Each structure stands twice: as structure tokens, then as C-alpha cells.
Amino acid sequence: SQKIEQNSEALNIQEGKTATLTCNYTNYSPAYLQWYRQDPGRGPVFLLLIRENEKEKRKERLKVTFDTTLKQSLFHITASQPADSATYLCALDGAGGYNKLIFGAGTRLAVHP
Amino acid sequence: EAQVTQNPRYLITVTGKKLTVTCSQNMNHEYMSWYRQDPGLGLRQIYYSMNVEVTDKGDVPEGYKVSRKEKRNFPLILESPSPNQTSLYFCASSSESSNQPQHFGDGTRLSIL
């Protein structure tokens, strides 16, 4: 079955720097991959979706890349701010098409002033 | 305001006492799903529904039931709760399927004693 690996250790960076989070998957290449942000005590909030035929997607200070050869997606936040501190989850389609969604455990990002 | 509403937000109950967690969305979404979130394991899908009267198992369906009698509602039923079902539960919806951005509720924290 598909497995997703996100760095379980928190990522600590200085305000203004670029944060880079990694999402690796182990088996088949998904048709799409999604990134979410989750704040403590809240539900995940959708950020970006990238499809298998797209190499890169951007939205304001956010950038996602998708490398099906490496089986990896990278999530970048440029000019990071303390307000970007949260847990970031990646998710991809499960086996059998567009019915199931599998999430990684998430990586906690802390941006320090 | 577009939203997914879960009730209750918190519940402490005892083993074997049937309970229902309600989920309602106001976006006319066809796809709805339930997840549980446990430390270190991330979000795991319990059940999902592609449309009214169409439901299917996710990755961890044991001990849970769902129904989809109306498009807007997707209740999660624990017929005989056990302590291993103590968790944080999220309901989500999207316009078509899992390959669309998911809109999450704010979660229900269940404690089964």
C-alpha cells in the first residue's frame, strides 16, 4: 500500500528565510498531490494541489514541486513569517482512483522572529 | 459562509454507549469523508461517500458506521465505542472526489473511557 513520509522533526527557521518541507511516497505515482496547513485545535486548510503532469505550482509565497522520478514533493514558503508557523500535511490519492485520500503525518514548522 | 460543521466538538463517554457525531456542509458538495487523527499516525480515512446513498470504506472502518441520506449530512456512528476509538475526528467535503481540495470541519475530540 502507499506510504507517505514527512519529516517528523519540527523545522525551525528564522523569519525571512525560505522554509522547505519534504513529502516522499513509496509506491505508485499518484495522479495528484495536495498540501494542507493545520493549526492546533483546527481542521486542515487546503493550500495547493499539483497534478502528476505538472512540475511546479505557485501561489503567492508558496511553491510546490512534484518529482515523480524521485517520488517526492517539496513545499516551499519564501520570506517566511511567524504567522506561517503550523503543521503542514501532504496528501495524495490512494489506490483505485479518486476516491481515497492518504495523508502524511505532517511536519511542524516554527518561524522565529 | 461556506463551512463544514461538526457536533459535538468534545465528548467524553463510556465504553459501549452508542454515539453519533454529526457533520453538515453547506456547499452542495458531493464527496464527504471522515478521518481520525492520532499522534504520529496522521489523518486516516474511516469512510467516504461519493454521493447520496453511496458510501465506502476507507483505511480504518472497523467499529464505525456512516450514512448519507441527504447530500449535506454525513453522520459518523459508533455503535459500541471502545477506548481505542479515543481520537480527534474530522469531517471533510469536496465538490467531486478526493482529487479536489477538501474542506474540513474543526474536529470532534472523543474520549472513550
pLDDT in tens, B13-28: 999 999 999 999 999 9
Instruction: Give the model's pLDDT for residue A98.
Output: 58
> Is the per-residue pLDDT at A57 higher than 90?
yes
Which residue among B33, B90, B99 places its CB closest to the CB of A98? B99
Average pLDDT over residues A24-46: 90
Q: What angle do CA A107, A90, A94 make, to 5 degrees?
A: 140
**pLDDT band at residue A31, thresholds of 50, 70 and 90?**
confident
DSSP class of B28: -
Q: Answer yes or no: are the C-beta atoms of B4 and B103 closer than 8 Å.
A: yes
* Min Cα–Cα distance to chain A from B89, Å: 9
Which residue among B59, B90, B101 places its CB closest to the CB of A49? B101
Tell me what percent of the residues of chain A surpass a pLDDT of 70.
Answer: 95
B56 contact A CB<8A:
yes
pLDDT in tens, A60-75: 999 999 998 899 999 9
* Min Cα–Cα distance to chain B from A86, Å: 14
Average pLDDT over residues B26-55: 93
Instruction: Give the model's pLDDT for residue A65.
Output: 96
**pLDDT band at residue A96, thresholds of 50, 70 and 90?**
low
Would strands B87-94 and B103-104 be described as parallel, antiparallel, or unpaired? Answer: antiparallel
**pLDDT band at residue A8, thresholds of 50, 70 and 90?**
confident
A104 to chain B: nearest residue by CA? B42
**pLDDT band at residue B42, thresholds of 50, 70 and 90?**
confident
DSSP class of A10: P
Helix (H) or strand (E) holding A93: strand A86-93
A40 to chain B: nearest residue by CA? B106
Which one, of B45, B98, B50, B102, lies nearest residue B76 by Cα?
Answer: B45
Mean pLDDT of chain B: 94
Which residue among A45, A98, A100 places its CB closest to the CB of B45? A100
